[in-house]
Structure 1
Amino acid sequence: MSFGLTNAPATFMELMNRVFHDILDTSVIVFIDDILIYSKDKETHILNISTALQQLRKEKLYAKFTKCEFWLNEVAFLGLVVSVEGLKVDHSKIKAIVKWKAPKSIVKIRSFLGQPFVLYTDASGLGLGCVLIQREQVVAYASRQLKTHEKNYPTHDLKLATVVHAVKIWRHYLYGEKFQIKSDHKSLTYLFNQKELNKQQRRWLELLKDYDCDIQYHPRKANVVADALSRNAMIKSQGEVNTTAAMCTRGRVFNHVKAAIKSDTNLRTVQEDIKKGRTISEFTLDKEKVLKYKGRICVPETKNSDVRHRLMKEAHTTTYSVHPGSTKMYHELKKLYWWRGMKADVAKFVSQCLNCRRVKDERQRPARLLQPLPEPAWK
């Protein structure tokens, strides 16, 4: 069988299960090409070995003698040592740690045990922010907006909610490790000694007791990263649309649209017909005599498609947009503008953006799915 095929391990495993199906899990355990034959006494073991080898010969499969071991009371199998006493760890796997020289300085002890984590948290009237740091290097950032009920929290509960939020999302880092929590709310340092707590605070305290943590006061001026994350409010989408609309309709692109409509024969004809008083379905003229289709500005087609290209460039590369994907960019553009084949033009423009191709994840075709194997008849 060729190496590297997607289904190779599963196919070979299915073959071995079919070869040994009569004695599988009674005297033989198989994992791909590792075969373990076990017995309670010597007479039975001779019979089991003979049966297993005959099954291999019957299917024209052969075991290499130099790789076989016989009559062992203890054997290493799949990373464990199997014996009469049961399973135990293979000493060869932990040899490097066992022979590790005892550290004789604080630096070496820290390099062996690992540096402790430091968790910086902060909250504001807009959201929660936290940063996880180890060895003065950022491990992860996290922030989110406040939920409706959280906006009514007092300052103490809001700061504590940030700590709880952080330990929940980074439990896989912090559980079982000693770490420090830095907060600019000094009363949190007395949390574990407070006697009067409400029900919610008691629940949060019980959660924090699962962790080996120490809460320390950290001035706000020094807690700039977590503070910035907590105040990084998301702008409402309607506000973004209004801002973009105002920017585009009053900017240079809008003036180019008005001037270039004369070069588009079809749109110019529609515009002249409407001026003469004719009614054309879905097309209208606004106060500034700009042609619109279903309330959206009609973008004319020029020889070099210069106007449409400028419009897509402004929608894709400005600080208001920050290189959106083709689908998002198309949906934002079609709220304000219209032209035939807009979706295809936007997709082509985004696919040719050098920054997007350099930075964003590649969209290569993923590997094919594993194909299920048919169940053997004996199962």
Structure 2
Amino acid sequence: MSQLLKKDAVWDWTAECQQAFDAVKQGLTEALILAVADQDRPFHVVCDASDFAIGCALMQHDHKGRDRVVYYQSRQLKPAERNYPVHDKELLAMKYALAKFRAYLLGSRPFVVYTDHASLRTAIKSPHISQQMARWLSCFAEYNFQVEYKPGRLNVVADALSRRPDCAVHKTDANCIGIVRTSTPSSSLLDDVMSAYANDADAKQLLNYFAAPSGKSRQKLAKHLRARVHRYRVHNGLLLYGTLDDNADRVVVPDDPELKLRITYEYHDAPTSGHPGREKTYLLLTRDFYWSHTYKWVRKYIRTCEVCQCVKPAPFSQAPLQSLPTPSECWQSISMDFGFGLPPDSKRRTGIVVFVDRFSKMVHLAAVPAEVTAKQTARLLVDMVFRHYGMPIDIVSDRYPRFTARFWQEVFTLLGTRCPCRPRIIRRPTDKPSASTESRLTH
């Protein structure tokens, strides 16, 4: 009946709904199995979570020391909640139990919450929690309780509530994806495999054995075949091989190099394959076929593939980044950069130019318009750096167009000299100072 309460559900009272309604009425008339809560006795709560539901129960010990249930509660998980990790699902079950049993537990004597997830014993004290968990823990602060671990085999009440068959979500419906096309070996290729069995000694032995299996015929098999004969079977004339890892059967390929090359070509060189690497080719091929030392064969094939050698990138690691040498004096080496998109000042300037001494980290700033030119930038360098500290030995900047265009020519024109060479060092070490300055100006 809970399906009818959804937002977009169409009201359709089916026979299943009527059956569920009758079951609820019947359960109400048989509520004698529940015990009446005794406020003079301590309560304890059991809770559990599954992949599709959460369940909990409020319990007390009677005068004979037996566990008696005061309150049962369970519900399905919402679609978003099904994606929670196991830890969060178990914590959600605890939160759900405390909310449902609030009238019994709030303000009462201390009580115990039993869970089969041991990590919840320290979850409420952990300093590393998410925002969602912090909200949940704020709800727990109202109650006086402690969490204790109960193994799953003993936590049967909550376990049964969280695994009700009628709440189960069929994974084939919830996680089903449409299959547009499947790739299977062609019939002509399989016919060639069957024809090649006649020239392979191992294949002939196995086919003869499965034609009339017996203890005597098994002893006639080669030793390496006898130990693994339980993994083979014959279907429609094809010899199949199964592994212990899965239930899939692979077509056994005889020891025919031409046939192996043809099969490997289909899984590596064909237009639908796209020349995958060694591991991917091996996984694709062994999904359908099997022969001894397949991985070694595929590795050799990939190494000799002409297309892969010409197109695939060379497996060389890049050289590590090198830091700039530290200057020995102040204003011997400077970094410069721009920052734009800042709040406008009284002259409608929305940018800054930053000059940083790489030795002392001293910063000089100047407000600039968004359309600042290379000539204006050169004038700022001369006025703010050269005038006070002289010309630095090196100037480090990034590839910003204002630095790679006429900037250097304008600098040397203002200094009355000539630029004999092009800039050599083009890097970006001023990101951190610029980011810090922009952050301060913005806020």
TM-score of the aligned structures, taking structure 2 as reference length: 0.28
Structure with larger Rg: 2
